[in-house]
Amino acid sequence: MPRTASALFLHGHADTPERLGDVASALTARTGIRPAVPAGPLEVGDHAGRAWWGADEDGPDVRTLDRLRADHGDIDVVLGHSQGAAVALTLGIGRRLVVIAGFLCGAPPRFDHTPDVLVLHGEADDVVDPVHARMIERRARAAGCATTMHLHEGGHALDARTVATALDWLEG
């Protein structure tokens, strides 16, 4: 991965860009990439978390996607965790796509630019069923994307092992 590469990291539901700071720092330390880590447009709950769409919607709205495309359209890497991974799948940007504990939402995934795709998911995930990882992998392969799938023993959390696997793939 060239040292001038750019990245977009999309947090999960009720998470914040600040909580992704350690992951963003690890990405920068290992690859030289400084990711943009925007906040989802909606406030969630009492703990200042953010979301990309609300509970009564089946995916991100067009304005949110258009804003992300306008701000980050010429990006090398898009990483998404959980709800952020669902957004990453619908954006249709980035030459490499890292989907961590992701799922397909109401908007269809966009693989028209055939990015390389890494799908990471915990077999013990009790928030997003790992069957979603298999569906994402099938759709990406059917679209002609070079796709790598890695199922691990863990759960839904964005843990050190998952981050290390993603960084190894980005460097490979």
Whether 66 maps to a domain, the answer reads yes
The CA-based dihedral angle spanning residues 122, 104, 61, 10, taken in that order and rounded to the nearest 10 degrees: 30
Its pTM stands at 0.93
Residue 1 lies inside a defined structural domain of this protein: no
Domain-embedded: residue 2:
no
Query: How many domains does the chain fold into?
Result: 1
Q: Which domain holds residue 29?
A: 7-171
**pLDDT tens digit string along 24-39?**
888 888 888 888 999 9
Could you read off the pLDDT of 84-141 as tens digits, one per residue? Answer: 999 999 998 999 999 999 999 987 888 888 999 999 999 999 999 999 999 999 999 9
CATH of the domain at 65: 3.40.50.1820
122 to each of 3, 55, 101, 116, 141, how far by Cα in Å? 30, 23, 7, 20, 20
